[in-house]
Structures are given as C-alpha cells and as structure tokens.
Copies of this chain bind each other. A is one copy, B any other.
Amino acid sequence: MKKVVTFGEIMMRLSAPLNSRFIQAGHLNITYGGGEANVVGSLAHLGIPVSHVTCFPDNDLGYAAAAFYRKYGVDTKDMVFKGDRLGLYFLEVGASMRASKIVYDRAGSAFANLDPAWFNWEEILKDAQWFHWTGITPAISASAAQACADAIRVARKLGVKVSADVNYRRNLWQYGKTVKEVMPDLIAGCDLIVCAEQDAEDILDIVPDANEANSFVSIASQVMKRFPNIKQIITTRRETLSASYNKLKGISYDQKEYLETPVYDINPIVDRIGGGDAFMAGFIYGSIHYTNMQDALTFAVAASALKHTVEADVNLATVPEIEQIMKGNTSGRLVR
C-alpha cells in the first residue's frame, strides 16, 4: 500500500500528573505531539504505512521526539535535524467544570525557522497516496507556510490526494501575515478539508445562508463552490458538558449527500488532546478501507471517541476496537 504523509511541527508535551496544577507539580509527564504527526501515528497503529516530515533541533530532545513517533511505526527518515530548539507545550488536565489549560512555548523552534529548501517533496511524496496538513503549520512562520505550499503543489502534481484540517488558532499567526492572506491559496489545493463553521467564517469570511436549513451544508456548499478541487468537507460536532464529559458526532457534506453519525457519550474523558487528529486519521483509514462513506465517517468518529480514553496525543486504538464501537458496542465490557 502507498503511504500517507504528513507535515507539521512536533512538540514535547509536558503534562502535570493526574489533576494537579502546575504550581503543585513535582514532575511533568512527557510525551510528544503535533496535529499532523498525531494523524500518522494513529494511522500507523491502524496498519497504514506512513511517514511524517518535520524539523527538530539536532540534540537529544529532537532525537527523543523522533523516537517517540518511530516507536508507533511512523517512518522518520525524512525528518530534518537542524535548528535551535524543540517547541514545547505545558498541559494541565482539568476535571468537572475546571478546564484543561495549555501554555505554549513554541516560539523560535527549529520548525518555525525551517528553510523550505530542506525538503525534497518530489522524493518524499513519490510513494504516497495521501498528503495531509493542518492550518497550524502556515500559522507558525512564513517559511513553514512556504514549505506547506511546496508540498501541496508537488502532491497535486504527483496525483497524491491532499487533505487539510483548516483549524484556525488565533494565538498563532504572528509573523506578519494574516490567516486570510495565506490560507485560501493553500486550501485551494485540497481535495478534502475538515472545517467547522467558525473556521469558515474566520478564514474565508463564509457564513451560513439564513435560508438554508442546515448551516453546515450551507457553508460547505459555498466553500466547495469557491474551491473547486474540494470534493468533501467533514467535521465533528462536540457538546462539552464538562471537562470530564463530552458528546461527539461526525458530519460530512460532499455536494450530493449530508451525513451524520450517531452521538457518542464520552464519560469520563481520560485525555481530550488529539481528539480531532484521531478523527482525521480515522477518516483517512475509513476512506481507504470502506466503500461506504457513512461507514468511513462513523469509523472516524468512533476512533475519535476512543482516543478520549487513551493518554497522550496519539490514538492507540486498534481497528477491531474501533469497529466494536461502530457496531454500537460501547458498554466497555471486560475483554478476557
């Protein structure tokens, strides 16, 4: 099978143990995460050949980050070890009405300061079937945005499918260009995007047509009209009852059909980070393995639901486990 390739920053994640606050913590648990790498980490666990492209400092922390993803089956041969520092994020895990809290410390990272010339996309993508990126990458720096544009261009040229989670993060985008200046050109190169209604407004100034009953369909239609390469738009709808209890479903529109999945109750949540990335990974797996789009979408949201019960950013659920959830076996009965 041809591989799935992703491009984006990987950070060290330092999380306070259990529910303790930063000021109480005597140690921080460390794993590594990045929105795009989480997608391939999860896909590797589902048996899909994958590679992630990124840039790390040439020090022990960079090696440890690469080793983390290699452990889960991600090919690390196209990672570049240059630059000054590893991006970090500090995580405090909430409970009940107390929200989880992230302190980012990613400025000046090796990835932010990458040189687009370091990546030979023709070579990297030659055996790929799918290239996935997210809206975080072009938000980090002009050079990261440029490398992302290069990758999309080469992918299209090679006939590699392109997807993106457009994911607008207000706190990024500090290098002098705005999301509205940069993203439309990148989105134009995609076959499929994950895009919530708020993202459509923030990035593309697209709002639902008041006459359209289904606001998501309204927005998706407008997006696809503007970007003809895009054939499908998907997203999750999350009801956040508390930091410990969420409900989740997936929705999709592809100009012909609006689909939605059953709603999954997640209570308690073990780790909410990476839930969206697990959805995307599940959708890629589903698109490859199922002929039926409803099944692909349900697989995606079932995968995402399971991710919330697993620690760290990468979804370590297996295909049989996800298929059990798809079939409605959500009772968590002991498997002997």
> What number of copies of this chain does the assembly contain?
6
Chain A residues 276 to 320 lying within 8 A of chain B, measured CB to CB, are 305-306, 308-312, 316-317
Whether A242 lies near B331 (C-beta < 8 A) is: yes
Instruction: Say yes or no for A29: interface residue by CB 8 A criterion.
Output: yes
Instruction: Say yes or no for A214: interface residue by CB 8 A criterion.
Output: no
Instruction: Say yes or no for A24: interface residue by CB 8 A criterion.
Output: yes
Output the nearest chain B residue to A23 by Cβ-Cβ distance: B64
Q: Mark A263-278, 1 if CB is under 8 A from B, else 0.
A: 0111111101100000
The stretch from A95-103, A155-163, A204-212 touching chain B is: A95-103
Known: A30-B25, A70-B73. A309 touches B103 (CB 8 A): no
Contacts of A244 in B (CB 8 A): 267-268, 332
Whether B26 lies near A332 (C-beta < 8 A) is: no
Most central of A63, A267, A308 by chain B CB within 10 Å: A267
For the complex formed, measure the closest distance between the CB of A60 and the CB atoms of chain B, giving whole angstroms. Answer: 4
Instruction: Say yes or no for A126: interface residue by CB 8 A criterion.
Output: no
Instruction: Say yes or no for A185: interface residue by CB 8 A criterion.
Output: no
Instruction: Say yes or no for A22: interface residue by CB 8 A criterion.
Output: yes
For the complex formed, measure the closest distance between the CB of A31 and the CB atoms of chain B, giving whole angstroms. Answer: 8
Whether B99 lies near A332 (C-beta < 8 A) is: yes
Q: Mark A316-336, 1 if CB is under 8 A from B, else 0.
A: 110001001100001111111
Q: Mark A1-38, 1 if CB is under 8 A from B, else 0.
A: 00000000000001001111111111111100000000
Instruction: Say yes or no for A198: interface residue by CB 8 A criterion.
Output: no
Chain A residues 89 to 114 lying within 8 A of chain B, measured CB to CB, are 90, 92, 94-105, 107-108
Whether B333 lies near A99 (C-beta < 8 A) is: yes
Known: A28-B30, A70-B70. A309 touches B267 (CB 8 A): no
For the complex formed, measure the closest distance between the CB of A29 and the CB atoms of chain B, giving whole angstroms. Answer: 5
Expressed in whole angstroms, the Cα–Cα distance for A169 and B14 within the complex equals 28
Instruction: Say yes or no for A249: interface residue by CB 8 A criterion.
Output: no
Whether B19 lies near A311 (C-beta < 8 A) is: yes
Instruction: Say yes or no for A68: interface residue by CB 8 A criterion.
Output: yes
Whether B94 lies near A309 (C-beta < 8 A) is: yes
Contacts of A332 in B (CB 8 A): 94-100, 240, 242-244
Known: A30-B28, A61-B103, A310-B98. A23 touches B330 (CB 8 A): no
Most central of A25, A244, A334 by chain B CB within 10 Å: A334
Instruction: Say yes or no for A84: interface residue by CB 8 A criterion.
Output: yes
Whether A100 lies near B335 (C-beta < 8 A) is: yes
Instruction: Say yes or no for A72: interface residue by CB 8 A criterion.
Output: yes
Expressed in whole angstroms, the Cα–Cα distance for A307 and B178 within the complex equals 40
Whether B85 lies near A268 (C-beta < 8 A) is: no
Whether A242 lies near B267 (C-beta < 8 A) is: yes
